[in-house]
Structure 1
Amino acid sequence: MWPANNYWGHQTMEADGRARAMRPLELPLTHLPSRVDLRRYMTPVEDQADMSTCAANAFAGACEYIIKRRTGKHVDVSRLFIYYNGQMIDQRSLEVTDDGASKQNTILGMRKFGICEESLWPYDEQLLNQEPPPHVYEAASRVTVIPLKIPRNLVAMKTCVANEIPFLIGVRLLKTATMEAKTNQGYISMPDPASSTVARTGSHAVLIVGYDDRTRHFLARNSWGRDWGVHGYFYIPYEYLLEKRLVNYLDGLWAITDIIPRSHHKPTVRRLVVPGHNYDAKRRKDKHRHQMSLLEKSLMTMQLIPNQKFSHLQSLMSIVKRSRRHSSFY
């Protein structure tokens, strides 16, 4: 069902500036096949209905995929349990509204509170924004997930999928996509990124479950039911996911590498590293070089009295030191 308010339920996060030291992860398959399709392990596509739960639906689908790939069994994972706890990550009270949840908060909520079967906390609009009872939390707390953050580049995206790990991304999906997906065998076209329609369209989380180099399209799992697109799936151009005006890059690209029994410590957030494509290290190096350049220019050009000069120098040096400091992911 298409949400009535042109807002698909995926919050856009502002860049918070906090350092996040994530443990690097290299995946074993680095030779990428020309085509990958993970639908054989996917459970049937579900409908988020008129609730802003696209990220929760996508992550539930990712969990069900892991369970089915490992055991061969179809287990329905509670979407509203995931959604509520994703909203609670940044909340200061137990009261929440149906304003959507970011991918990052949603996956951190899963890591903190776990997941449970949908039979314990059903997908019922009357339970929307309601706190699940203690016995549901107790059942969910037995397991947790290992989050993986994906770099924003084509090689990393394809590497993730080629290693049988679907990932979430937030896209601006125009209303015209519904008709396109219906009449064009699931394929949607590349919109004009500069159009006002794109700017007015909210972010919608989908699960990338395949790709095809021949057509240069990713295969995406939606959450608008099996009657949408091709049994709930559609094909989106590579260029679509690489255009920053059409995707929500601030919130990142996220995946779940595994569902594991809970221990005393939350699992470390992993960061995908593709050999020969260490974009994160390059960005840190470029940022440090830029900060040092600013420092040198300031020392050469500032015309200040001595005490002001010393204060200004201290401030600049503190910026450089902060750029080198790493803190653990929360």
Structure 2
Amino acid sequence: FKEYIERKGSKDWSFRTPEGNPNYSKIFSPAFIYNQINGGRDNGSLISDAMRVIVEMGAAPWETMPYNSADYRTRPSQAAIDAASKYKAKEFLRVKTTDITEVKAQLAEGKPVVAGVLVYENFFNLKGNQIYKEGLGKTYGGHAIAIVGYDDSKNAVKFINSWGTDWDDQGYGYIDYRWFIRICQG
């Protein structure tokens, strides 16, 4: 599944029309999932609930349910539900996220890894390839991220955040292996 942030990315991204516009039939809607599991409030959700939607209902193309970060209440239309049924996951499995070797193995097999991490105040202020190595300031609770790679030279996992391209390195960040093991939830 391509992330919303990637949709907003470079002009050469392969999910674009020949004119360079986003091809919304090939980009999945975060709203389709989030708006069904958030209980009508914009206070986050559980990763397991999101995964269940993808397995049971699928993921709707953006064109059937465009994402608007201010609209977290609109329910999917029947057209979005019908379209999503074509894009169901077979299953989701728990990975031992406290074992970096297991996380790397899943990534090497081309499998996405979603993690819930504990966020501290300094997480909000990461900039330009800065590595999240420790928690400073107030604790804000859990936050879901998608692990997209790792860099052994940095001793860090690479992840994509959902807060837009102004955050850290165009929406991507790094978490130190040791810190990742400590802050992973579940």
Secondary structure of the residue aligned to 1:101 is coil
Over 6 Å off, 4+ runs: none
When normalised by structure 2's length, the TM-score is 0.78
Aligned length: 170
Give 2:58's aligned residue.
Answer: 114
Alignment partners' CA distance in 2, 1:123 and 1:73: 17
Compare relative contact order (CA 8 Å, sep 6+) and give the higher one, 1 or 2.
1
Instruction: Tell me the distance in 1 between the aligned counterparts of 2:109 and 2:86.
Output: 27
Matched with 2:34 is: 83
Of 78, 83, 95, 1:150 maps to 95
Q: Report the AA paired with residue 149 of structure 1.
A: R
Counterparts of 1:125 and 1:43 in 2: how far apart (Å)?
14
Please state if 1:197 is matched with 2:138.
yes
Report the secondary structure of 2:35's partner residue.
Answer: helix
3-state SS of the aligned residue for 2:61?
coil
Task: Describe the shift of the 1:44–1:130 C-alpha distance in structure 2 as closer, same or farther (beyond 3 A).
Answer: closer
Rate the CA distance shift 1:205–1:121 in 2: closer, same or farther, 3 A: same
Among candidates 237, 247, 250, match of residue 176 of structure 2? 237
Secondary structure of the residue aligned to 2:93 is strand
Deviations 1:155-196 (A, max 9, x none): 2111111222231111122221233x216x33222227xxx8
Give the aligned partner of residue 320 of structure 1: none
Structure number with larger C-alpha Rg = 1
Corresponding residue SS for 2:36: helix
In structure 2, the residue matched to 1:73 is: 15
Q: Distance in 1 between matches of 2:37 and 2:109?
A: 26
Instruction: Determine whether 1:182 maps to 2:127.
Output: yes
- Quote how far apart the aligned CAs of 1:127 are: 4.0
Alignment of 1:137-286 (within 5 A): 137-146=81-90, 147-152=92-97, 153-179=99-125, 181-182=126-127, 185-191=129-135, 197-198=138-139, 201-243=140-182, 246-249=183-186
TM (norm. structure 1) is 0.46
The aligned amino acid for 2:184 is: V
Higher normalized helix content (fraction of residues): 1
1:173-222 Cα offsets, whole Å, 9 max, x none, are 2221233x216x33222227xxx833xx2111111111122221111111
Are the structure 2 counterparts of residues 101 and 46 from structure 1 closer, same or farther at C-alpha, using a change threshold of 3 Å? farther
Aligned AA (1:155): T
Unaligned runs of 5+ in 1: 1-40, 48-67, 88-94, 250-330
| Pairwise CA distance, 1:73 | 3.2
